[in-house]
Amino acid sequence: MIRHVVLFAWTSEATDKQKQQVAEELRALPPLITGLRSFQVGPDVGLIEGNFDFALVADFDDADSYLAYRNHPAHRAVVEQVIDPVAKQRVAVQYET
Amino acid sequence: MIRHVVLFAWTSEATDKQKQQVAEELRALPPLITGLRSFQVGPDVGLIEGNFDFALVADFDDADSYLAYRNHPAHRAVVEQVIDPVAKQRVAVQYET
């Protein structure tokens, strides 16, 4: 299984509505994705100073399933239209679990 | 439940032995930690250019359990003696799942 982990930091101009839209549109993706075992996103809860702002953790059957998600048109649309406008930084790792 | 997610980028000087030691010493922590539901770490598999190098995803009963892990002497020892010497960057998020 491949776990895909992404952390985002939002720009200071990002609005609460924009941040909420990121979460909502990402949460609408799982029914469209083949080989996806779990998918959870959420905003940082504010316990620790200096954290990034938002996390995504998704488990896929294998690397091919992850890459199909990465390239899926519905995912690309969320990235380009909803995430990119508010993302100051994005860091990611895929690891075997 | 609180999910704690950390991504690390290693320094260019970090050796394979040091990176392996990070994974091994982190994987030894769970029996010492109260309120920990799952704990998985691993190196980036190398699918995507520009990724960070290593991920940790841990699920805790609640924020107090996460903070107790954060401050646990065995965890602090791993951070200070094994992780800090090889970490170029560290980004984290805690979110509710």
Chain B residue numbers touching A9 (CB-CB < 8 A): 91
Number of residues written out for chain A: 97
Q: Do B5 and A7 touch (CB under 8 A)?
A: yes
Which band of pLDDT confidence, cut at 50, 70 and 90, is reported for residue B24?
Answer: very high
| Listed residue (A78, A68, A71, A74) closest to A36, CA to CA | A68
Looking at residue B90, its pLDDT comes to 98
The DSSP result for B12-27, as a single string, is TT--HHHHHHHHHHHH
Min Cα distance B3 → chain A (Å) is 9
Chain B residue numbers touching A92 (CB-CB < 8 A): 7, 48, 51-52
Min Cα distance A77 → chain B (Å) is 19
| Listed residue (A57, A64, A68) closest to A5, CA to CA | A57
What proportion of chain A, given as a percentage, has pLDDT over 90? 100
Average pLDDT over residues A69-87: 98
Q: In terms of pTM, does the model score above 0.80?
A: yes
Average pLDDT over residues B49-73: 98
User: For the stretch A80-92, what's the b/e string if a residue is b when 16 or more beta carbons lie within 10 angstroms of its beta carbon?
Assistant: eebbeebbeebbb
Average pLDDT over residues B46-60: 98
Average pLDDT over residues B45-52: 98
Q: Do A55 and B3 touch (CB under 8 A)?
A: yes
Which band of pLDDT confidence, cut at 50, 70 and 90, is reported for residue A87?
Answer: very high
Looking at residue A80, its pLDDT comes to 98
Cβ B61 vs Cβ B35: under 8 Å = yes
Q: What is the ipTM of this complex?
A: 0.96
Min Cα distance B45 → chain A (Å) is 5
